[in-house]
Structure 1
Amino acid sequence: MHFESMSDFFAMGGYASYVWSAFGITFASMIILLIMSIRQGNALLSNVSAKVERQARIDAAKDLENTL
């Protein structure tokens, strides 16, 4: 599709509100998805780290218990 000027490009032949709102909604959805994925990944890593530390403390306590 060929546009005569930038204003014609932004008007999109009368469909500008549909086209630009679709781009905006898609962009916002992708940003929200990225942020939520990063947050969930960080939460998962901290949860796994806490479980590993807890298991290490349990193992250390069992080793101490066996020496008494």
Structure 2
Amino acid sequence: MWNSPAEFFAMGGYALYVWSSFGVCAAVLLLEPLTIRARKNAIIRRLKQERLAEQFDQESS
């Protein structure tokens, strides 16, 4: 039990560890969808380029 909000945020002397852990977790949860979307777009772009290259090869043959 904490007697005040200050004691809660101090976390018994472990505040730096506790709050930085929460911060890192929140950052990862926010960045993960963004990196997945960027990776998906890069894959789609590469597949489109490969398809265009195959069409060009077929037309020039």
TM-score band w.r.t. shorter chain: 0.5 to 0.7
Question: Number of matched residues?
Answer: 61
Q: For 1:49, what is the secondary structure of its paired residue?
A: helix
- The TM-score with structure 1 as length reference comes to 0.63
How far off is 1:10 after superposition?
A: 1.3
Correspondence 1:59 to 2:58 = yes
Cα distance in 2, alignment partners of residues 56 and 4 from structure 1: 72
Cα distance in 2, alignment partners of residues 28 and 18 from structure 1: 15
Q: Report the equivalent of 2:13.
A: 14
**Aligned-pair identity (%):** 30
- The TM-score with structure 2 as length reference comes to 0.67
How far off is 1:12 after superposition?
A: 1.5
How far off is 1:51 after superposition?
A: 0.6
Q: Which amino acid aligns with 1:26?
A: C
Structure of greater Rg: 1
Q: Report the equivalent of 1:23.
A: 22
Please give the per-residue CA displacement for 1:13-57, whole angstroms capped at 9, x wherever unaligned: 221111001111222233344333222221111000111111122
Structure 1: give runs of 5+ residues left out of the alignment. 63-68
Q: Which has the higher contact order (CA 8 A, sep 6+)?
A: 2
Q: RMSD across aligned C-alpha pairs, in angstroms? A: 2.1
